[in-house]
Amino acid sequence: MKQFFLFSLVMLLMSSLSAQTEKAVQAAEKAVLDVYYTHSTNRCAGCRAIEKETMQTLNSQFKQQMENGEIAVHIVNIDLKKNKEIVDEFEVWGSSLFIVKNGDTKNRTDLTKEGFAMARTKPEEFHKVLAGSIKKLLN
């Protein structure tokens, strides 16, 4: 009887661990996007507009993906020593906007030029470009 109980307990634990491992694998396979907006301490109107319009796009069109962890947002002040690793990784020296899929920073989508060209003066167009890039990378 004790052996049967012990065997049942071991099987129950193994099935629980298997289910947890499967969930972890599924979560790891989920496409994850990191949106990085970098800036210096002193920012112009265009720099502030890129952050504002990026956050507006994400909050209005991708709120669920941000809440469930598919999309993470990183606002990075490049002048702070604690952010040196990110500055070095992205080789940034000012305001930049990048989308990184699955942590692959070498194959990132750079929307810096579009941000400066549109965020302040044509925010609706910027929202479309940013949302289109995000949707493409999520698929």
pLDDT tens digit sequence for 8-59: 544 554 555 454 445 444 444 555 999 999 999 999 999 999 999 999 999 9
- At residue 4, the pLDDT reads 54
Full residue range of the structural domain in which residue 71 is found? 31-138
CATH code where residue 74 lies: 3.40.30.10
In a domain, 1, yes or no: no
Q: What is the pTM (predicted TM-score) of this model?
A: 0.76
CA atoms of 105 and 18, how far apart (whole Å)? 32
In a domain, 15, yes or no: no
Q: In the chain, what percentage of residues exceed pLDDT 70? A: 78
In a domain, 20, yes or no: no
Domain count for the chain, please give it: 1
Neighbours of 99 (CB within 10 A): 19
The pLDDT-based confidence of 3 (bands split at 50, 70, 90) is low
- At residue 95, the pLDDT reads 95
Q: Are strands 109-110 and 71-77 parallel, antiparallel or unpaired?
A: unpaired
